[in-house]
Amino acid sequence: MIIIRLDRMLADRKMSLGRLAEEVDISNVNLSNLKTGKVKAIRFSTLDAICKALDCQPGDILEYAEDDEA
């Protein structure tokens, strides 16, 4: 299971979701869906833009945890 830690990065950078959406040029709704884990995929170009805007690595945003059912 992949856990999205975007909310933590936003808090650490003191950045709002709206400001990140503007910097990354993605809709607030799509970014919110990513933040809450409601998406099944993310484009590398989007991940790249988010990492640039937040000055972080992909591993700061995405975390792997073993599924309980596995």
User: In a structure prediction context, what are the per-residue pLDDT tens digits for the chain, which is 70 residues long?
Assistant: 899 999 999 999 999 999 999 999 999 999 999 999 899 999 999 999 999 999 999 999 999 999 876 5
Q: Where are the domains of the chain?
A: 2-64
Q: For position 68, what pLDDT does the model report?
A: 75
Report CA dihedral (40, 64, 4, 45) to the nearest 10 degrees. -60
Q: For position 69, what pLDDT does the model report?
A: 62
Architecture of the domain made up of 2-64: Orthogonal Bundle (1.10)
- C-alpha 68/C-alpha 57 separation (Å) is 27
